Amino acid sequence: MKNKQGITAKKEENFSEWFTQVIQKCELADLRYNVKGFLVFQPWSVLAMEKMYKYFEEVLQRKGHKPHYFPAVIPESNLKKESEHLKGFSPDVFWITQGGNKKFEEKLALRPTSETAFYQMFNLWIRSYNDLSFKTYQRANVFRHETKATRPFLRTREILWIETHCAHATQEKAFNQVKEDMNTTKEVLHDIFGVPFIFFERPAWDKFPGAHRTFAADALNPDGRVIQQPSTHMIAQKFSKAFDIKFQDKDGEEKDVYMTTYGPAISRIFASVVIVHGDDKGLKFPWEIAPLQVAIIPIDKKANKKAEALKKEIQKFASVEIDYSDKRPGEKFNHWEMKGVPIRIDLGLKDLEKKKLTLYRRDLDKKILINEKDLIKTIQKISKEFTKNLIKKADKVFEGRIKDTKNIKEIKAAIKQGAIARCGFCSVEKDGTPCAEIIEKQTGAEVRGTRLDEKSKPLGKCVICNKKANHIVYIARSY
């Protein structure tokens, strides 16, 4: 009989319902807060996201970024200093117009992003080439009045993220920072969180408002839609001119700085972790970011003393809890599998009499019987294998979902199959916009961009206009 308390939707058959059930039944977020698009993040997601923040911040600090906390409000005059930036974000801004009963002389924006806040201070902090490269970051909530349909974690009006803002002496150093940001994404998003992705340079019509060049990582969901994950941008020098951010070089000459910004959205990355690794039972967390790494299930009260002794040893190197609830053993097993705990220890009296322990591995979904004396070294061994197993499986699925296409018919077929279409394209500059619009209109998918690491060269003609193909682009549906 199917467990109605667990996940009843099949991930591959009805992804949308599966995702909804995982959020609700695994207690990741409560959607009943009475402002549309805002979530109450529950402990099971918060515990994981706190670990995710930790890994990103450790890498950023190792690479020279210093942490700041900036105000959540930005004066309208800051946003107006760069017209393209204001135009890009103005429809999404939450405006604060009064405090108490007093109307403000100038509106304040709840930050949709913080370039104009940081640059206001860069103007005061940066004076000489000795100040560069100036590398900052903050962990913050940003607010965007999302007008499309909201979706928990994927598309919300409050985003939990990290944003870096850096200033450099030359364009070359700015581009090196972008490449470093891409490497940071691989180090953390893929190698720790286990989420495969492709970094694309976005076409001219899809750049970050005010950017000279935009690069973004796309992860792919089972429903064939991509989620934009960390993006990194070379900011146009219009910003440094607008905020008058200059430095004196070694010869005493005054120059404008080059800026970059990078934004890993932790709450959205969490969605990809859930989606990429989860299965029909529920969640699977990489070992490093699991809210709980080991659950101990005493099958009889007589095993409680042993459970406490094991917990005392395990908690020296891993997070561990004992399930003393009144649920039946089978319900407990299903509960912790659904919640994605990497290791479960089932304490049965017969096993204990034989000095044996039964361990359940969520990465392999199988039980193993071990000698009690081998418990610690077995858990430590599994902890080293666990995330690697998840990554290997996720990479294999992702690699099989990029399809080469030669015309609009093949693009449609690839998108219908839930794949990313790869094809020749005329131009990713503004003159390629009409072809991109045709693709979007006929397929419901978008040109996501080109790859810096693309080894192949474009051959033949553009799939739409039949002009010479100057680029290889990737096409997919998004949220």
- Domains held by the chain: number: 3
pLDDT at 150: 76
Res. 276: pLDDT tops 50: yes
Q: Is residue 83 scored above 50 in pLDDT?
A: yes
Tokens of 437: 């619009």
Domain finish residue from 217, 246, 277 = 277
Domain contains 58: yes
75 and 107 belong to one structural domain:
yes
Supply the Cα-derived Rg of the chain in whole angstroms: 25
> Are residues 264 and 149 located together in one domain of the fold?
yes
DSSP state of 93: P
Most confident of 143-147, 399-403, 408-412: 408-412
Residues 152 and 128 in one domain: yes
Per-residue pLDDT, averaged over 59-75, amounts to 98
- The reply to whether 165 and 262 lie within a common domain is yes
Asked if the model's pLDDT at residue 148 lies above 90, the reply is no
Asked which of 342, 366, 398 is the last residue of a domain, the reply is 398
DSSP, residue by residue, 17-28: HHHHHHHHHTTS
Model confidence band, residue 318 (pLDDT cutoffs 50, 70, 90) = very high
Backbone angles phi, psi at 357, to 5 degrees: -135, 140
Residues 220 and 166 placed together within one structural domain of the fold: yes
The number of angstroms, rounded, from the C-alpha of 51 to the middle of its chain's C-alpha atoms is 13
Q: In terms of domains, do 109 and 218 share one? A: yes
Do 329 and 428 belong to one domain?
A: no
Cα angle 85-109-93, degrees, rounded to a multiple of 5? 60
pLDDT range class, residue 2, cuts 50, 70, 90 = very low
Least confident of 90-94, 133-137, 315-319: 90-94
Which range, of 147-151, 200-204, 263-267, 288-292, averages the lowest pLDDT?
147-151
Q: What is the pLDDT of residue 459?
A: 84
Asked if residue 438 and residue 317 are part of one domain, the reply reads no
pLDDT of residue 5: 77
| pLDDT at residue 4, rounded to an integer | 60
- Give percent of the chain with pLDDT exceeding 90: 92
Confidence at residue 219, expressed as pLDDT on a 0 to 100 scale = 96
- CATH number of the CATH domain containing 445: 3.30.110.30
User: Looking at the domain assignment, is residue 242 inside a domain?
Assistant: yes
Place of tokens 């096993």: 351
Evaluated on CA atoms 412, 413, 416, 419, the torsion sign reads: negative
Asked if residue 252 has pLDDT above 50, the reply is yes
What is the strand order of the sheet 94-99 is part of? 73-75, 102-110, 94-99
Overall average pLDDT of the 261-284 stretch: 98
For residue 7, tell me if it sits in a domain: no
What integer is the mean pLDDT of 186-196? 98
Pick the closest to residue 79 from 105, 134, 118, 122 (CA basis): 118
Task: Give alpha helix (H) positions in 71-170.
Answer: 76-80, 83-89, 115-125
Q: What is the pLDDT of residue 310?
A: 98
Residues 300 and 344 in one domain: yes
Average of per-residue pLDDT across 252-259:
97
Distance (Å, whole) CA 159 – CA 354: 51
Sign of CA dihedral 285, 288, 291, 296: positive
Name, in order, each residue with C-beta under 8 angstroms of 208's C-beta and a sequence gap of 6 or more: 88, 202, 214, 231, 233, 261
pLDDT of residue 89: 83
- Tally Cβ neighbours within 10 Å of residue 160: 23
Residue 57 has pLDDT above 60, yes or no: yes
What mean pLDDT comes out for the span 80-105? 90
Q: Which domain holds residue 304?
A: 287-398
Of the candidates 214, 171, 179, which has an alpha carbon nearest to the alpha carbon of residue 450? 214
Which amino acid is present at 358?
T
Once rounded to an integer, what is the mean pLDDT over residues 253-282? Answer: 97
Determine phi and psi for 371, rounding to 5 degrees.
Answer: -75, 140
Look at residue 90 in the predicted model and tell me its pLDDT: 82
Helix (H) or strand (E) holding 167: strand 158-168
Q: What is the CATH number of the domain that holds 379?
A: 3.40.50.800
* Cβ pair 166, 134 in contact under 8 A: yes
Note the pLDDT of residue 86. 77
Where on the phi/psi map is residue 224: left (φ > 0), alpha (ψ -120 to 50), or beta?
left
Q: What is the pLDDT of residue 1?
A: 32
The predicted structure's pLDDT at residue 3: 43
Of the candidates 146, 84, 154, 157, the one whose C-alpha atom is nearest the C-alpha of residue 115 is 84
Assess if residue 127 is contained within a domain.
Answer: yes
- Residue-wise pLDDT for 26-45, tens only, equals 999 999 999 988 999 999 99
* Same domain? 75 vs 177: yes
